[in-house]
Amino acid sequence: MPRALAIETSGSTGSLALVDGGVVVAEDQFPHGLRHAAEIVNRIDSLCRGVQWKPGDLAHLYVSIGPGSFTGLRIGVTLAKTLAFATGAKLVAVPSVQVLARNAPPGWQNAVIVLDAKRDQVFTARFVNRDGQPVEAEPAHLDSLAEMLARSPRPVHLIGEGIPFHERFIAQAGPGVMLTAPELWQARASAVAEIGARLASVGQFESPDRLAPLYVRRPEAEEKLEERTRQEL
């Protein structure tokens, strides 16, 4: 299997992973305070030097595309596109909800991703356990957690950094709703690598020209500007 870099910047904590032969050989985690792709490039360079790789050794790039942090996604996707243009590596877009679903605990049956979208809304998706693997029952979309939980079979595990912002809806959802441990709420580059390698094996590559973050909805600033413009007309 080709050498690859996995990039995860969708949440409050970002991470990188180098993959060789389907095995993660190096991993790095960093705070979401990074504001420019150039800062992550230095971390990638350090990881590659640690395993004696050159940029040209990367054949694949796996990037988490969202939904999630607008700033983080923009940085991660921009970086992946730039590296693809510079190195010729093939790009694979990995939905962030699928990455988070890999954090479901042993024995889980149903899982709902919970990412805060403000205004009592969540970026969410629902998964079912099929032979130990998460299978998407509802793709990433904007919803209320109350409505999402009303549709979900029980028992259901909740995963994601939006959980603390929607506790009142969780309390009202009745029995069978279980919170995962906080350390499972963050997406991991190693999971991006796992999914990316599977997608690459069936030829699901993206053109650098067309790769874009999966925001699900426009940034809040754009929505507010549109509303203000509408009111002024």
Mean of per-residue pLDDT scores for the chain = 92
Nearest-Å Rg of the Cα atoms of the chain is 18
Q: Is the same domain home to 213 and 191?
A: yes
- Split at pLDDT 50, 70, 90, the class of 13 is very high
Per-residue confidence band for 164, with pLDDT thresholds at 50, 70 and 90: very high
Residues 6+ apart with CB under 8 A from 84: 61, 90, 91, 208, 211
- Considering the domain architecture, whether residues 176 and 193 belong to the same structural domain is answered as no
Q: Is residue 118 part of a domain?
A: yes
Mapped onto helix, strand or coil, the DSSP state of residue 14 is: strand
Q: In the predicted model, what is the mean pLDDT of residues 55-73? A: 95
Q: What is the pLDDT of residue 231?
A: 56
Question: pLDDT tens across 176-218, in order?
Answer: 999 999 999 999 999 999 999 999 999 999 999 999 999 997 5
Residues 6+ apart with CB under 8 A from 233: none
pLDDT for 37 beyond 80: no
Domain count of the fold of the chain: 2
For residue 77, pLDDT beyond 90: yes
Let me know whether 21 and 55 are in one domain.
Answer: yes
Query: Is 225 part of any domain?
Result: no
What one-character DSSP code corresponds to residue 215?
Answer: -
- Compute CA 2 distance to the chain's CA centroid, rounded to the nearest angstrom: 22
SS (H, E, C) 166-201: HHHHHHCCCCCEEECCHHHCCCCHHHHHHHHHHHHH
> Nearest 5°: CA angle at 189, between 185 and 193?
125
Same domain, 33 and 61: yes
Considering the chain, what percentage of its residues have pLDDT values greater than 70?
Answer: 91
Residues 178 and 211 in one domain: no
Check pLDDT > 60 for residue 222. Answer: no
Let me know whether 82 and 191 are in one domain. Answer: yes
Mean pLDDT of 143-171: 97
Q: What is the DSSP string of 58-72?
A: --EEEEE--SS-HHH
- Regarding whether 38 and 144 lie in a shared domain, the answer is no
Strand partners, 26: 18
> Given pLDDT bands bounded at 50, 70 and 90, which one contains residue 39?
confident
CA within 13 Å, CB half, 233: 6
Residue 90 pLDDT more than 90? yes
Q: Are residues 213 and 202 in the same domain?
A: yes
Q: Which CATH number characterizes residue 113's domain?
A: 3.30.420.40
With CA atoms as reference, report the closest residue to 124 among 135, 139, 136, 110.
139
Residues 153 and 128 in one domain: yes
Sheet with 121-130, strands from edge to edge, namely 133-143, 121-130, 110-118, 156-159, 177-179
What pLDDT does residue 34 have? 67
- % of the chain residues with pLDDT over 90: 86
174: left (phi over 0), alpha (psi -120 to 50) or beta: left
Cβ neighbours of 155 (radius 10 Å): 14
Residue 231 lies in a domain: no
Q: What pLDDT is stored for residue 177 in this prediction?
A: 98
Same domain, 64 and 143: no
State whether 28 and 82 are in the same domain.
yes
Structure confidence at residue 78 (pLDDT): 94
Q: Say if 79 falls within a structural domain.
A: yes
Does residue 89 surpass a pLDDT of 60? yes
pLDDT of 217 reads: 74
Residues of the domain holding 144: 104-184
Parallel/antiparallel/unpaired status of strands 90-94 and 60-64: parallel
**Same-domain pairing of 92 and 117:** no
Residue type, 19: V
* DSSP assignments along 30-88, one per residue: EETT--SHHHHHHHHHHHHHHTT--GGG--EEEEE--SS-HHHHHHHHHHHHHHHHHH-
Q: Provide the pLDDT confidence category of residue 228 given band limits of 50, 70 and 90.
A: low
